[in-house]
């Protein structure tokens, strides 16, 4: 059987360690030509040097110029870009009232804007080259996690980007999906050390990689706009957010009427 990603050119951001390294190695094991991106140049090189066909890249994807640099590195080295794994991310741990503007900006710049920048540039290149696949990396933190509110907000934004890009390209050969991994990574360890009461990742990074390879491959040619929860032996699809069943009133809503409704039967419950 031919490797699933034979000769596909794939960029993996934040691939110097943890989940990103696992994704890069899994893609390479299925024949992909990989750009291993990480701002830590040594870590990127260490991963790339262990793969059969890979190059290291230390561009900072939190800037437009840096994102352009890593996409260009793929185009210049391999002649095209067939896949992008938007994995790069950072976390700043604090309770909401202790968050600093510097920390919030850093998290948004890397996690949300970095994903958006790389994605927009990859979508442009993939459209010109006849197709491709983007896999964004979101997190279960998007449902609310007290010590990393800024991080959680960026991950919710990444899920929204996934849905929006998938809808925009649904009648093309470009597919956009996301994974929400559960893994014991350096990022998860940081969270666990600071706030032991907050459950962090428990599974190996490698156990999350098969779903990413699947989404990059032709096996997922009909899959678009999905968020896949991964980790260990678990796999689940996220249901898209939707507005629940509404409640109508005979006249106009007043604060008192809303309060009465919440006291008896909250709106949106089915």
Dump pLDDT digits (tens) for 149-206.
Answer: 999 999 999 999 999 999 999 999 999 999 999 987 776 776 667 666 555 677 899 9
In a domain, 268, yes or no: no
In a domain, 258, yes or no: no
User: Do 13 and 21 contact (CB within 8 A), yes or no?
Assistant: no
The per-residue pLDDT for 269 is 61
CA angle 261, 264, 267 (to 5 degrees): 50
Q: Give the CATH number, domain containing residue 129.
A: 3.40.50.720
Catalytic annotation, residues: 151
Residue in this structure with the two tokens 């309770």, named with its chain if needed: 95
Distances (CA, A) of 108 to 89, 112, 158, 221: 9, 5, 11, 31
Determine the average pLDDT of the residues in 231-245: 89
What's the maximum distance between 2 C-alpha atoms anywhere in the chain? 69
- Single pTM value for the model: 0.92
The per-residue pLDDT for 172 is 96
The per-residue pLDDT for 81 is 98
In a domain, 259, yes or no: no
Mean pLDDT of the chain, nearest integer: 92
The per-residue pLDDT for 198 is 57
Distance (Å, whole) CA 270 – CA 266: 10
In a domain, 4, yes or no: no
In a domain, 156, yes or no: yes
pLDDT tens digits, one per residue of 241-253: 888 888 888 889 9
The per-residue pLDDT for 195 is 63
In a domain, 252, yes or no: no
Determine the average pLDDT of the residues in 203-225: 97
The per-residue pLDDT for 168 is 97
With 80 as the cut, is the pLDDT of residue 270 above it? no
The per-residue pLDDT for 144 is 85
User: Do 118 and 132 contact (CB within 8 A), yes or no?
Assistant: no
What percent of the chain shows pLDDT beyond 70?
94
User: Do 125 and 167 contact (CB within 8 A), yes or no?
Assistant: no
Number of domains within the chain: 1
Q: Which domain holds residue 149?
A: 9-243
* Of 81, 58, 82, the residue nearest 71 (C-alpha): 81
In a domain, 1, yes or no: no
**Which structure tokens are listed for 227?**
């968020």
**Which structure tokens are listed for 23?**
């994704």
With 60 as the cut, is the pLDDT of residue 255 above it? yes
Which segments within 156-262 are labelled E, that is strand?
A: 174-181, 227-231, 234-237
128 pLDDT band, cuts 50/70/90, is very high
With 80 as the cut, is the pLDDT of residue 60 above it? yes
In a domain, 257, yes or no: no
């Amino acid at each position: 059987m031919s490797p699933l990603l034979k000769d596909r050119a794939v960029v993996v951001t934040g691939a110097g360690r943890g989940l990103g390294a696992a994704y890069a190695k899994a893609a390479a094991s299925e024949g992909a030509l990989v750009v291993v991106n990480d701002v830590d140049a040594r870590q990127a090189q260490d991963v790339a040097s262990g793969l059969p066909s890979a190059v290291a890249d230390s561009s900072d994807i939190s800037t437009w110029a840096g994102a352009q640099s890593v996409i260009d590195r793929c185009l210049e080295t391999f002649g095209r870009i067939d896949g992008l794994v938007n994995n790069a991310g950072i976390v700043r741990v604090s309770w909401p009232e202790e968050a600093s503007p510097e920390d919030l900006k850093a998290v948004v710049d890397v996690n949300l804007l970095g994903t958006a920048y790389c994605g927009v540039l990859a979508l442009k290149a993939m459209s010109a080259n006849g197709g491709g696949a983007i896999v964004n990396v979101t997190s279960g933190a998007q449902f609310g996690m007290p010590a990393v509110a800024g991080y959680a907000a960026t991950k919710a934004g990444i899920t929204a980007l996934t849905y929006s890009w998938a809808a925009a390209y649904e009648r093309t050969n470009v597919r956009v999906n996301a994974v929400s991994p559960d893994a014991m990574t350096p990022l998860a360890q940081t969270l666990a050390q600071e706030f032991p009461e907050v459950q962090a990742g428990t599974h190996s990074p490698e156990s999350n990689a098969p779903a990413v390879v699947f989404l990059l491959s032709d096996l997922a040619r009909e899959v678009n706009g999905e968020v896949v929860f991964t980790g260990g032996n678990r796999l689940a699809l996220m249901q898209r957010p939707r507005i629940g069943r509404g409640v109508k009133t005979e006249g106009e809503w007043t604060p008192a009427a809303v309060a009465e409704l919440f006291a008896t039967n909250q709106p949106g419950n089915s």
